[in-house]
Amino acid sequence: MLKYAGEGGVSADELLNRVRSLVTSVFGLVGLADTDPVLAYSWEGRVFVLAVKREGLEKLLASVVFDESRSIRILRVVGSLRRAKKLVESMQK
């Protein structure tokens, strides 16, 4: 689960493109292929759930560190989309 902490909101496509760009700049196209981030869920332009390949998780986590604007933050890493959806639903209450 990622949180966008920048000014205003951001669209899901913009965040996904930003994450892909970060992974590519740090690990190249092979790293992007290992990670293969896909948007699974977004909530109000602030909280996003990305599905990634298990072998690419560490590359994604390392890439977010190189975000110069510090606008993308990791909230939590969960093992299934079902668990991620439950966490987002509990945040909405």
**Tens digits of per-residue pLDDT, 1-15?**
888 887 777 888 998
What's the chain's average pLDDT?
A: 88
* Beta-bridge partner residues of 73: 3
What is the value of pTM for the model shown?
0.83
Cα angle value 76/8/3 (rounded, 5°): 5
Distance CA 31, CA 20 (A): 10
Output the pLDDT for position 93.
64
Distance CA 36, CA 30 (A): 10
Q: Which domains does the chain have, with CATH numbers?
A: 2-92 (3.30.70.3250)
